[in-house]
Amino acid sequence: MDEKSNETLVKKVTTLSGIDIKSLYATQDIAELKYDDDLGDPGDFPFTRGVYKNMYRGRQWNRRLVCGFGTSEETNERIKFLTEQGQTALNIVFDMVTHHGRDSDDPLAEGEVGKGGVAIDTVEDMETLLEGIPLDKISCSLITLPSSLILMAMYLAVAEQRGIPLSKLAGTNQNDVFTTMAGSPLMVIPPRPQMKLIVDTIEFCANHVPHWNAVSICGYHYREAGCTAVQEIAFTHAAGIAYCEAALERGLRIDDFAPRLSFFYNSHNNFFEEVCKFRAARRLWARIIKERFSPKDLRAGRMRFHTQTAGSSLMAQQPLNNIIRTTIQAMAAVMGGTQSLHTNSYDEALSLPKEEAAMVALRTQQIIAHESGVPDTIDPLAGSYFVESLTNTIEKKAAEEIARIDEMGGMLAAVEKRYIQDQIRQASYDFQSKVESKKIVIVGVNEFFVEEKELPIRLHKVDPSLEEKQKERLRRVRSKRDNEKVKRCLANLVRSIEADENLVRPTIEAVKACATIGEIMGLFKEEFGEFKML
């Protein structure tokens, strides 16, 4: 075959974000790149190469696995197992009943208690969950959405009851109101009151819990719902802008809270697109903070982020293939400079992770950390014609999308107008269409599949008796607590709402009195109204 005829066989490659990928990149593709303006040194503006000068040569990323199922005792056992195996931070997920702020004996909770996460009704459950965990020495991420303020209050209450100063605590709230509306619909109260609770949390943490990330600005759920890498950056940063503006309206200064804003990103299958996505997101956020909010210290624009490998990429078919997918995604996160990483377990498309699968997920991170050589140098792919060109293109496209959202009045308006939801829906449809036409190959699903008469792995099974056990525990707490004190605390919470005061401290006092999550969320719904999905 001659060279000319061979050229006709070169296929066109386009990422899901609509970026054409050339077959070869060279110096002209990065001719406009300026080191000081676009790259800089690690730890310096615009933080393209990393938020800290030494990155993993100084301290490696936090290795945290999502953990939560059944009762608080069972989850405590899994947390301790993973910590013994080398987990360096906690990532606790709650069941859907707890997410929605309902008690385990609520009629709507039937059949869902302890499934998909741990059941928490009162501060006593939180005490059991955290038994033996040194809260002043380990960072904890609370994966919850509508009930985030209440669960953080329980966590802080446990620390205070142990005599641990709040200033010693480190952790994160996954409480992004926009992702609950558009990416992972779990809203309970309307978005504007939910924003008030988040700003309350930002204000309280800035004053009392300085090492706590008061809000995790979450792109992960948009990506899981089907958006592209470019949209993930744009939607996440547009939400971050909204939180900054709301906190400034409260009277806070950008330098007081922006350094503790945390981001939560997905790491998907296209290795280079994901690495460049993280680099572009970091640079774009630094520029947004500098240009829109004029901080005194440019470090206020450091985009620190947690990464989770892509749950939506896990397949029930040939589940052991998911180990390879997760490894590629984890490598992209590390190459992209993440501060914290959760690796999914290979069985999560079928069930909650078994202990063995969770350990493989943790070992994946440890092998990358200690055997691959990847963390040995900072931003190892920098200078690649392809990487720098793709980073620039992703940043440009994300900035254009943010400009469209700005024109609509910002992220809240864009979500209320259902623009974000429609964009995600279209991107998801486009992806699935390409899978079904085999323009995208999913190994073991639409190509290279085999007939499996039985699953090659054993699955985690939830104890069917746990729901009754949790209900009985709740009944005991209600029978022994000081119900008059509970009423006074809830009444004080209502007064604080009516006076438009910060609600974090009154909520802490209510949970200390053993008010249940359902009682407090019920009060919020009465005072703020209940969200109705259109």
In tens, the pLDDT along 97-146 reads: 999 999 999 999 999 999 989 999 999 999 999 999 999 999 999 988 78
Chain position carrying tokens 């806070």: 252
Phi, psi of 262 (to 5 degrees): -120, 150
For residue 408, what is the enclosing H or E element?
none
Residue range 450-461: average pLDDT? 79
- DSSP assignment of 116-169, as one string? SSB---SHHHHHHHTTT--TTTS-EEEE-STTHHHHHHHHHHHHHHTT--GGG-
What pLDDT was estimated at residue 533? 62
pLDDT of residue 183: 64
Q: How far apart are alpha carbons 527 and 521 in whole angstroms?
A: 10
How far apart are the C-alpha atoms of 311 and 268, rounded to whole Å?
9
- The domain ranges of the chain are 41-436
What average pLDDT score do residues 245-267 get?
Answer: 97
| Residue 456 scores a pLDDT above 80 | no
Looking at the DSSP assignment, which residues form a beta bridge with residue 304? 262
Residue 361: which of 175, 85, 127 has the closest Cα? 85
The answer to whether the beta carbons of residues 213 and 262 sit under 8 Å apart is yes
For residue 240, give both structure tokens: 């971050």
> Whats the size of the chain, residue-wise?
534
CA quadruple 525, 531, 532, 533: dihedral positive or negative? Answer: negative
- Tell me whether strands 90-93 and 216-218 are parallel, antiparallel or unpaired: unpaired
Please write the tens of the pLDDT for every residue from 20-66: 999 999 999 999 999 999 999 999 999 999 999 999 999 999 999 98
- Distance CA(32)–CA(532), nearest Å, equals 49
- Mean pLDDT across the chain, nearest whole number? 94
pLDDT digits over 331-340, tens only? 999 999 999 9
Q: How confident is the model at residue 355 (pLDDT cuts 50, 70, 90)?
A: very high
The pLDDT, as a whole number, for residue 1 is 46
Q: How do residues 152-203 score in pLDDT, each as one tens digit? A: 999 999 999 999 999 999 999 999 999 888 866 677 899 899 999 999 999 9
Contact 125, 472 (CB under 8 A): no
Percent of the chain with pLDDT over 90: 89
Segment 261-284 shows an average pLDDT of 98
| Residue appearing with tokens 């909650």 | 352
* Cross-strand pairs, 173: 142
- Predicted confidence (pLDDT) per residue in 220-247, tens digit: 999 999 999 999 999 999 999 999 999 9
For 74, phi then psi, to 5°, come to -65, -45
Contact, 173 vs 215, CB < 8 A?
yes
Cβ neighbour number for residue 468 with a 10 Å cutoff:
12
Q: Per the confidence metrics, is the pTM higher than 0.85? A: yes
Reported as a pLDDT band with limits 50, 70 and 90, residue 463 is confident
CATH superfamily of 41-436: Methylmalonyl-CoA mutase (3.20.20.240)
Q: Is the pLDDT of residue 3 over 80?
A: no
Mean local confidence (pLDDT), 299-311? 97
Q: Which residues contact 193 (CB under 8 A, 6 or more apart)?
A: 524, 528, 529
Q: For residue 6, what pLDDT is reported?
A: 55
